[in-house]
């Protein structure tokens, strides 16, 4: 039995004046739902702690095309060397989550993917 090829997804949601993004690489279809639940729970916690509004709606796009993956990976790898190494060594699962200001040029590019 052959192993499923990892698929790449972008998940995004609104938390106050920011957007939370998540980049998921997984060969397990059930991890998409668990990842979305994790993001929603984290966003609710951030919103509650800082008195922000969190819209409990998550945008999910995927599987992503190779060029889109490369653009996202270049951005997040440039932000954190450890993440860059984890993405390079990923064989079946990787998840990175981060917050970005609504007016960030990269945020706009990510939201256009959806």
Residue 61 structural domain? 7-113
With left for phi above 0 and alpha for psi between -120 and 50, is residue 16 left, alpha or beta?
A: left
26-78 pLDDT per residue, tens: 999 899 999 999 999 999 999 999 998 888 889 999 999 999 999 999 999 99
Instruction: Tell me the whole-structure pTM to 2 decimals.
Output: 0.91
pLDDT of 59 reads 94
Residue 108 included in any domain: yes
Q: Is residue 33 part of a domain?
A: yes
Number of domains in the chain: 1
pLDDT at 88 over 70: yes
For residue 1, being part of any structural domain is answered with: no
**Residues 90, 113: Cα–Cα separation, whole Å:** 23
Residue 27 lies in a domain: yes
| Angle subtended at Cα 108 by Cα 88 and Cα 73, rounded to the nearest 5 degrees | 5
């Amino acid at each position: 039995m052959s192993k499923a090829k990892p698929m790449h997804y972008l998940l995004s949601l609104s938390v106050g004046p920011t957007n939370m993004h998540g980049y998921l690489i997984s060969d397990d279809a059930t991890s998409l739902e668990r990842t979305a639940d994790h993001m929603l729970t984290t966003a609710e916690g951030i919103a509650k702690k800082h008195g922000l509004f969190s819209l409990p709606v998550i945008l999910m796009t995927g599987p992503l095309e190779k060029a889109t993956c490369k653009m996202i990976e270049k951005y997040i790898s440039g932000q954190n060397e450890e993440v860059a190494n984890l993405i390079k060594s990923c064989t079946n699962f990787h998840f990175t989550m981060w917050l970005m200001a609504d007016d960030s040029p990269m945020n706009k590019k990510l939201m256009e993917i959806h």
